[in-house]
Structure 1
Amino acid sequence: MGVSTMQALTIRLQDEIFALEATSVREILDPVPITRVPNAADFVGGLINVRGTVVPLADLRVVFGMDRPPMDKDTRIVVVEFDLDGEPMTAGILADRVHEVTEIEADAREAVPAVGMRWPPAFVRSIGKRDDGFIIIPDMQRIFRDEGVVAATTERQNP
């Protein structure tokens, strides 16, 4: 963990707060039409059009074993871009609600405990502490790599 402050966009998935690195956030969208992909994994079951570009829509609730209620007035799509194995990856992330951009100090971030967590530890980069709660900082690169999104997205774009 670096000694720097992390600028983060906080989002809610069910009753948990997650933090996405603010530098990776490109835009926040209201729900848009989703093109379902036959036989796709639940994690990325659809594609969306973001300013003329086809972007996979990921649901982190699948990876973290959460319920998936239908979209409502608070649902947003956070478009993120990050480096994945040396290539830029753009994806939409479903959020039950978008909260705020905030700072998470380095000394408020801790390594993931090996036991006692309800989330897969491999997919959590660190846990942030804020007020009396926790903020989960997901490891987006590992989630997308381990869930096979790269191969599936490449195959769809290059039939």
Structure 2
Amino acid sequence: MSARTGEIQFVTLGLGAEVFAVPVEYVREILDYTPPSALPEGPAYLLGLTDVRGRATPTLDLRLKLGLAAVPPTLATRILVLDVPVEGRQLALGLVADRVIEVAAFTPDEIEPAPDIGVRWRSDYMRGVVRRDTDFVVLFDLPRLLTSQDAAVLDAAA
């Protein structure tokens, strides 16, 4: 958060026509897409492990985690390497997104509470929404997106 303006910075990303955002403080780096090394018997959304500077990093397909259909990667597909606080520790993981759009700053009064109905995403994954023109940016609550069960699976994968 910028102390001067009270703005909070987010990295916005696209999944199809939808726009989501993750807090910039969790983003370690953004990589061009390379297929992760597959892992047997993991959940469908766990694509496998990506080599991030010599470290095996569990990589999730964000589309599958949200219940969307898988799509083949394109030249715009990116892996966001994140450090997410889960249960008192940092969990390193990669999230595959159709595209990364920009770093955007929102003020706390621009962030509306996550609606309980009217959107197709589970509201417990959402920190809130920001109205932009005629659309919305859905702000992820990353620790909630990754349940304790997910954290255990990702730890085992790493």
TM-score w.r.t. length of structure 1: 0.89
- Percent of aligned pairs with the same residue? 32
Distance across 1 between alignment mates of 2:38 and 2:6: 40
2:106 aligns with one of 104, 107, 131: 104
1:30-41 correspondence to structure 2 within 5 Å: 30-41=32-43
Deviation, 1:63, is 2.7
1:64 corresponding residue in structure 2: 66
1:83-122 correspondence to structure 2 within 5 Å: 83-122=85-124
Distance across 2 between alignment mates of 1:93 and 1:154: 15
1:75 and 2:77 equivalent? yes
1:14 corresponding residue in structure 2: 16
Distance across 2 between alignment mates of 1:63 and 1:87: 21
In 2, are the aligned partners of 1:14 and 1:67 still within 8 Å (CA)?
Answer: no
CA RMSD between the two structures: 1.6
SS of match in other structure, 2:46? coil
Unaligned runs of 5+ in 2: none
2:155 corresponding residue in structure 1: 154
SS of match in other structure, 2:45? coil
Distance across 1 between alignment mates of 2:16 and 2:27: 20
Deviant stretches of 4+, over 2 Å: 153-157
1:5 corresponding residue in structure 2: 7
| Equivalent residue pairs, number | 154
Deviation, 1:131, is 2.3
Distance across 1 between alignment mates of 2:46 and 2:61: 6
Which digits, 9 at most, give the CA deviation of each residue in 1:37-56, with x for residues without a partner?
A: 11111222311110011111
Deviation, 1:65, is 2.0
TM-score w.r.t. length of structure 2: 0.90
Unaligned runs of 5+ in 1: none
Distance across 1 between alignment mates of 2:114 and 2:35: 36
Distance across 2 between alignment mates of 1:105 and 1:132: 18
